[in-house]
Structure 1
Amino acid sequence: MGEQMTGGCACGRVRYTATVNDDEAYLCHCRMCQRSTGSLSIAFKNVKKADVAWEHEPDWYDSSPIAERSYCRECGTSFGFRFKEGSENMDLTVASFDDPLRFKPKHHFGAESMHRAWLNTEGLPEMRTADYQKLVDKWVEATGSFPG
């Protein structure tokens, strides 16, 4: 029996509940995903289409002759990918879940477009958001506090 997990976009217009049966996720590096997200890869969780309930239906982009991608037209959040025909499954973006930390990558897809220099960044200097004073100051000036 799966667990009900929620997710949504940055502005809150689109929300969903999905039944998740395990912690497995994957990274897609294909050029279609790179272009549609503006990132070198995207983390996906594969779920059954029937196990996703949208509180507000996302917008859908007809991204190729075989697939479409969901997103929020207001804030630009990417929700995932589904084939137009022939599959009962779809992918949801791991980062759109309210609690994405449970998921673990189990494989890479689209390896022909993988940017390997970005895969293992162990040892690079790390900076916490709250330690970047200019950013903290901008948040405090705009809202009165730092979100964190």
Structure 2
Amino acid sequence: MAAARTLTGGCACGRIRFTADVPDDAHAYLCHCRMCQRASGNVSLAMVGLRQADVRWSQEPDWYDSSPIAQRPFCATCGTSLGFRYREGTDKMDLTVAAFDDPSGFKPSSHFGAESIHRAWLNTEGLPETRSDEYQALNERWSAAGAKPPA
């Protein structure tokens, strides 16, 4: 078995938190299937496959029966999508990469659900880039709300 890192993550509001033992060779991928697109409201969902036993929840997430064969953990308070698992027959599950506190260590190694890939969104290199911390209108809104943007 590959060495593992213990990583933490959770939803946007912090109600649902997890700790996961992530093997160095964990399979991170982009899922483009229509179910993931609909569940996330996005063109793809970055996921990492893990053993369910390697994921510990501080509070059990809410579960959505997204189909007759699968369930998706999420936070009913803020709506954050946290992953995917088959309802039975496996000890595996996937967590959304962006739900990790530091998702920078994951690199996609494949695409799944290729029949639904929106190719225009695959390579966005060269498009104009705007940093949110340099966008004045956004920073003025945070300031007016008496808050700081999330790090």
TM-score (norm: length of structure 2): 0.94
Within the candidate set 18, 24, 27, 2:30 is matched to: 27
The question of 1:131 aligning with 2:134 is answered yes
The one-letter amino acid of 1:48's match is: R
Shift of 1:59: 0.1
- Partners of 1:62 and 1:145 in 2: CA distance: 36
Runs of 5+ consecutive residues of structure 2 not aligned to the other structure: none
Unaligned stretches of 5+ residues in structure 1: none
Secondary structure of the corresponding residue to residue 85 of structure 2: strand
Q: Which amino acid aligns with 2:80?
A: T
Describe the superposition over 1:124-147 as per-residue Cα deviations: whole angstroms up to 9, x where unpaired. 100000221111100011025454
CA distance in 2, matches of 1:48, 1:108: 20
Identity among equivalent pairs (%): 61
Q: Aligned with 2:108: secondary structure? A: strand
Distance 1:128 1:17, change over 3 A: same
Deviation, 1:96, is 0.2
The 1-side partners of 2:75 and 2:114 are apart by: 28
Q: 1:12 aligns with which of 11, 14, 25?
A: 14
**Cα RMSD after superposing both structures:** 1.1
Q: Secondary structure at the match of 1:95?
A: helix
Residue 117 in 1 paired to residue 120 in 2? yes
The yes-or-no answer on 1:37 pairing with 2:40 is yes
Distance 1:56 1:9 in 2: 11
CA distance in 2, matches of 1:103, 1:119: 17
Aligned pairs for 1:1-148 (under 5 A) are 1-22=3-24, 24-148=27-151
CA distance in 2, matches of 1:144, 1:72: 23
Separation (CA, whole Å) in 1 of partners of 2:132 and 2:27: 28
Aligned mates of 1:101, 1:137 — CA distance in 2: 28
SS of 1:60 mapped into structure 2: strand
Secondary structure (helix, strand or coil) at the match of 2:145 reads: helix
Q: With the length of structure 1 as denominator, give the TM-score of the two structures.
A: 0.96
> Residue 140 of structure 1 aligns to which amino acid in structure 2?
S
